[in-house]
């Protein structure tokens, strides 16, 4: 039986492709459609999240070597909006100069893009957010966005461990009490509908 590719009521995934790959020295595309960016440390599950959202197995490319991806990838969906995969941070084997270049590239994107609607920050729900996670959260805020936090690896926790994990994430990142935190599992797809609702809120305004 074919999988019904419907992510938002009334919208079917008819087209989803990697359209633009930007490196450290690249100019960013001047897109006319809204962009939704995803940030997170290496191995937090960004590619798995994007694939789960689009109900595809390999839309987002993964690397066998953590920290190897040094590009910002723009995935165009239905010729209507973009999912933007930012390079992973916090990989200890990447030298300081490389990490600095990645940081400058991401900062340039956050400051230069005209179509960015929301920034999603992924953290590993199994652990306390790292110093890099906290720095990225503050950095996103500094650049004028309120991060939506997605706590990945939900399926790795027991049900009674979830409230404590959510509380720890909120406190460590310094989230406002009304800040959005979405527990997510790429295995069960739990949390996907909440992400869809956020996308829909912006897409509906554009008569998608």
Token pair, residue 155, equals 């399926």
Q: Does residue 195 have a pLDDT over 80?
A: yes
Its pTM stands at 0.88
pLDDT band, very low/low/confident/very high, at 5 (cuts 50, 70, 90): very low
pLDDT of 173 reads 98
pLDDT for res 52: 86
């Amino acid at each position: 039986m074919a999988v019904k590719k419907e992510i938002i009521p009334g919208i079917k995934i008819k087209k989803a492709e990697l359209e633009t790959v930007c490196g450290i020295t690249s100019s960013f595309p001047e897109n006319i459609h809204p962009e939704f960016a995803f940030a997170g440390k290496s191995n937090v599950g960004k590619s798995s999240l994007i694939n789960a959202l689009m109900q595809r197995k390999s839309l987002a490319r993964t690397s066998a070597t953590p920290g190897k991806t040094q590009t910002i990838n723009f995935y165009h969906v239905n010729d209507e909006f973009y999912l933007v995969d930012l390079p992973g941070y916090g990989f200890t084997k990447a030298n300081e100069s490389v990490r600095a270049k990645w940081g400058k590239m991401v900062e340039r994107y956050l400051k230069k893009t005209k179509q960015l609607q929301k920034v999603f920050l992924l953290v590993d729900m199994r652990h306390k957010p790292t110093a890099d996670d906290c720095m990225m959260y503050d950095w996103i805020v500094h650049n004028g966005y309120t991060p939506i936090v997605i706590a990945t690896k939900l399926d790795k926790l027991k049900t009674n461990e979830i409230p404590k994990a959510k509380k720890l994430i909120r406190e460590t990142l310094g989230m406002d009490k009304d800040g959005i935190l979405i527990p997510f599992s790429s295995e069960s797809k739990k949390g996907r509908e909440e992400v869809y609702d956020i996308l829909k809120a912006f897409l509906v305004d554009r008569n998608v």
